[in-house]
Amino acid sequence: MDEKLVEDKAKVLPGDVIAEGDYLSGQGTYKEDEKIKSKFLGVARTEKSRIRVIPLCGGYIPQEGDKVIGRISGIGPSHWWVELDSPYDGYLSISEGSDEFIDLDNTELSEVYDIGNMIYTEVIKVTKEKDVKLSMQDRICKKLSGGRIVRINPSKVPRLIGKGGSMVEMIKDKTGSRITIGQNGIVWVSGGDEDLAVGAVKTVDEKGHEKGLTEKVEKMLKESR
């Protein structure tokens, strides 16, 4: 029988059983004897039937000015909640969610951003209580439609971008894909040869600590094509 033993957003310890049965093991978890267990001290999150754990140490901690990719996880009377693959969710107010007036008497907020939508947004404030306030006012912020989501270690984001944007531009050029990188380690890939672009992003994540990374990614792109 499928059973979830830990509530969403609850803290878990390494080895804690989060769920049993046919749940799928996501990042930060492993499956043992039909049980999903945590690899880290972190926060358990559920996406449909997949269980993930976001580590409290070494994970993404929001900073003012960061551009991040998030998932709309809840809708309030005049705001949206946004999952950021962080122990702390983002808060997007109606005034920061659109540069156009939204008449709440005639418009449902779900018509603007619905649960499950992915957005590229900016962290504009982090309070002492770790309330993370977001904004869509910057011209490069947008709703992300279609495409594929790849998760990498946030510490590898600078390697994926490369010096002066060299790494990501090379991947875009070789694959014809559009790539948007969130500083929280969430990457959106759309169009072109998506499989190849995703493979290149994962290569950076896996080998980002090694020397000669650019050459390795370039070789991988050439051989795959």
Provide the pLDDT for residue 1.
60
Q: Chain-wide mean pLDDT for the chain?
A: 91
Q: What mean pLDDT comes out for the span 75-102?
A: 90
Q: Reply yes or no on whether the pLDDT at 19 is more than 70.
A: yes
**Distance of alpha carbon 37 from alpha carbon 159, whole angstroms:** 30
Topology, domain 3-55: OB fold (Dihydrolipoamide Acetyltransferase, E2P) (2.40.50)
Say if domain 67-144 classifies as CATH 1.10.10.60: no
Q: What mean pLDDT comes out for the span 164-169?
A: 96
- Report the SS3 class of residue 83: strand
Provide the pLDDT for residue 97.
92
Of 1-15, 120-134, 193-207, the range with the lowest mean pLDDT is: 1-15
Claim: this prediction has a pTM higher than 0.85? no
| CATH 2.40.50.100 domain position(s) in the chain | 3-55
Q: What mean pLDDT comes out for the span 36-44?
A: 90
Give the number of other Cβ atoms within 10 Å of residue 139's Cβ.
7
Provide the pLDDT for residue 164.
93
| CATH 3.30.1370.10 domain position(s) in the chain | 148-224
Topology, domain 148-224: Ribosomal Protein S8; Chain: A, domain 1 (3.30.1370)
Provide the pLDDT for residue 71.
95
Provide the pLDDT for residue 120.
98
Provide the pLDDT for residue 182.
98
| CATH 2.40.50.140 domain position(s) in the chain | 67-144
Q: What mean pLDDT comes out for the span 12-18?
A: 93
Provide the pLDDT for residue 127.
93
- Report the SS3 class of residue 217: helix
Angle at 56 (CA atoms; ends 180, 10), nearest 5 degrees = 105
